[in-house]
Structure 1
Amino acid sequence: MLDLAVTTRAETFERMADPLAARDIAVGHVDTSERAVSLTDDPFDDYDVGFVYPSRIMEGGVADALLDVPWVNDREAILRSRNKADVLARLGRAGVPVPETVMVSNPAGESELVAAFEQVGPPVVVKPNSTTRGVGVTTARDLDSFLGVADYLDLVHDYRATGDRSFLVQEYLPDARDYRAMVVDGEYVGAVERRLPTAARERGRWKHNVHRGAEAEGVDLSGELRELAERTAEVLDVPYLGVDLLATEDRAVVNETNARPTIDSATKYEDGFWDDLARLIRATCDRSRTA
């Protein structure tokens, strides 16, 4: 039996425990945040491998040092995926289609902001460079509104302890279908389409994040979209990756990626999903032992 350390107690932990136990992988929880952790008396049990590096990088460093295990997605994979601008730059350079996007490194002068807005063209999506779950993402339909959003970001970023001060100005694709494709060890293993309920759309809601009220339904993606998701994981070199795709009638783009994706109900994935995930976990452990 292989012992797997998982640093979340959310849906993913609950959904993976039984399927992986049936494949001789015992799932255990490692609590790394919102607690006091002794640095001299190891508070953690022994594990063979970690699922994905903890979300809080500073606390993750402590857990990494004390656990001393290989991670399915290591620190570099988490940092790379979390940096939205880095992801889009790497993908665009590799020929993977992405939305028209400009990164603004705050503080930036008004002329730079105007140029960014005009390059993308209204309406634009404004999003922090390193948040998740749609936090802080908004739209601006005219230049004054956009400059007002930038003013608010300046106020927030005036706090010296703020880390990432950059934000993205991105084209808005209002009619695009929103998919989360899952890739395990380079292979597409399933996808969901995220849709807002009709009532939410009628109230003007537009974000398709599940944590914002959208519903995730299993879908059978086209071969083109499957290849796009696999190509994304290859370019970023992330073994376990959620790839967010926006698809309109005439194009498809990679919008974001998530190296700590939630596992939805297994009925939404291809047959063999849990076998593929178990193989990746074992391969991660084996590579560490032979290194």
Structure 2
Amino acid sequence: MIYIVPKPTDTPDDNSTGAVMQELERADARYALLDLGTIDPLNSGLENELVWACGIRQDGHQFETLSVLALDNRVINTPESIVACASKVMTSALLLRKGVRTPRTAYLCSEEQARDFLLRHGKVVYKPLYGYDGNGIRLVTKPDDLGPGPWYLQEYIPNDRDFRVFVLGGEAVGAITRVSEGLMHNIHQGGTGMPVPIDDEMRAIAEDSAAAIGIDYCGVDLLRDREGYTVLEVNGTPNWHCMAAPIPNLLAAYLIERERNMRA
């Protein structure tokens, strides 16, 4: 049995959980929905089961519940990896620790240090620490526009597009480029996505990013500059809009394989 925690942000028109459930049904795989809001993880009755968390709310209850379930079950993605991706600081730290190329980044509580970082780079991108879908991200060019801290800041890299690579089981399986006229290229911010081939450099940095986080599957967001690709962030509950690769089918097959391996 595969237990599924639905993605909280699913809608009838954008249902990531439902797309994978359809593939599980086609494969005659047994599954059941798991509502983290209605179970006591200390008395869940679940042991040695596979739990797929398509997404969790950014609150302490769901994280703690999933973390307790992970003590006696195989959880994909692990709570630790989901939270690591949700925190831009932790993502940056793990990437830097493994030598994965990422823009120059600082996380600062001192306004003086934030101003120095901005003046050193001329333009920086401010990002909410736990933001998603590109919300709250803005370009900062003057110290007076920094706003209240603390500040997660990245050097600004001129670009007209970004790339998302979907990594599953350590392998890059699909990629898109997202184009817009603004700072953010996210689909939810009005960007337009289209599939692109995965070149060798893109594959290497995306797979290295997933390994640095220690995650089963993810979306790795990249920019390209004069030196090559650089990692903006790693999404632990990614959408796969515009991917040519059959991500729901591949993800369902991955879950089925992992569940079977548990029974072997």
* TM-score, scaled to structure 2: 0.82
| Aligned residues of 1:8 and 1:31 also touching (Cα < 8 A) | no
Q: Distance in 2 between matches of 1:46 and 1:95?
A: 37
Distance 1:5 1:99, change over 3 A: same
* CA deviations over 1:222-267 (Å, ceiling 9, x no partner): 11101110111112211111100111354210000011111336x6
Q: Contact 1:3–1:47 at 8 Å: present in 2 too?
A: no
Do the aligned partners of 1:72 and 1:284 also contact (CA within 8 Å) in 2?
no
> How many pairs does the alignment contain?
256
Q: Please state how far the C-alpha of 1:91 moved relative to its aligned partner.
A: 1.5
C-alpha separation in 2, matches of 1:249 and 1:66: 45
Matches within 5 A, 1:165-184: 166-184=150-168
Q: 1:268 aligns with which of 227, 236, 244?
A: 244
Change in Cα spacing, 1:89 to 1:45, as seen in structure 2 (3 Å) is: closer
Q: Which residue of 1 aligns with 2:143?
A: 143
Aligned to 1:190, the other structure's residue is in SS state strand
The answer to whether the 8 Å contact 1:17/1:26 transfers is no
- CA distance in 1 between counterparts of 2:39 and 2:20 reads 28
Aligned residue for 2:127, secondary structure, equals strand
Q: Whole-Å Cα distance in 1 between the matches of residues 187 and 30 of structure 2?
A: 28
Shift of residue 12, structure 1, vs aligned partner: 0.6
> 5+ unaligned residues in a row in structure 1: which ranges?
155-165
SS of 2:252's partner is helix
Q: Is the 8 A contact 1:30 1:44 kept in 2?
A: no
Deviation at 1:282, TM superposition (A): 3.4
Change (3 A) 1:145 1:206: same
The answer to whether the aligner puts 1:195 opposite 2:179 as a matched pair is yes
Distance 1:28 1:122, change over 3 A: farther
The answer (yes or no) to whether the contact 1:7–1:29 under 8 Å persists in 2 is yes
Cα deviation for residue 218 of structure 1 reads 1.4
Partner of 1:206, secondary structure, is: coil
- Partner in structure 2 of residue 86 of structure 1: 90
On the 8 A contact 1:20/1:278 being kept in 2, the answer is: yes
Q: Comparing 224-233 with 81-90, which one deviates more in the overlay?
A: 81-90
- Equivalent pair of 2:19/2:248 in contact (CA under 8 Å): no
Matched, 1:54 2:56: yes
CA distance in 2, matches of 1:75, 1:226: 25
2-structure distance, mates of 1:31, 1:209: 29
* 1:49-128 mapped onto 2 (5 Å cutoff): 49-52=50-53, 54-60=56-62, 61-62=64-65, 65=68, 69-104=73-108, 106=109, 108=110, 110-119=111-120, 121-128=121-128
- CA distance, structure 2, for counterparts of residue 277 and residue 18 of structure 1: 11
Corresponding letter in the other structure for 1:224: E
Q: Provide the rounded CA distance (Å) in 2 between the counterparts of 1:214 and 1:144.
A: 29
Per-residue CA deviation, residues 160-196 of structure 1 (Å, 9 max, x unaligned), is xxxxxx4311111232531110111101110111122
Q: Which amino acid aligns with 1:76?
A: E
The 8 Å contact of residues 167 and 173 in structure 2, kept in 1 or not, is answered as yes
What letter corresponds to residue 268 of structure 1 in structure 2?
Answer: A
Q: For 1:16, what is the secondary structure of its paired residue?
A: helix
Cα separation, partners in 2 of 1:218 and 1:28, compared to 1, 3 Å: farther
* Structure 2: distance between partners of 1:189 and 1:209: 20
Q: Which amino acid aligns with 1:173?
A: I
Q: Check the 8 A contact 1:78/1:260 in 2, yes or no.
A: yes
> C-alpha separation between the residues in 1 aligned to 2:39 and 2:93?
39
Q: CA RMSD in A?
A: 3.1
SS of the aligned residue for 1:88 comes to helix
State the shift of 1:62 in Å: 3.2
Q: What amino acid is the match of 1:256? A: E
Contact 1:20–1:274 (CA under 8 A) maintained in structure 2: no
**1:251 matches 2:228:** yes
AA of the residue aligned to 1:101: T
Q: Secondary structure at the match of 2:240?
A: coil
TM-score normalized by the length of structure 1: 0.76
- Contact 2:168 / 2:251 at 8 angstroms: preserved in 1? yes
Instruction: State the distance in 2 between where 1:46 and 1:21 align.
Output: 23
* Larger-gyration structure (1/2): 1
Spell out, residue by residue over 1:109-158, the C-alpha distance to the aligned partner (whole angstroms, 9 max, x if none). x3222222234x12110112222111221111122323xx2xxx25xxxx
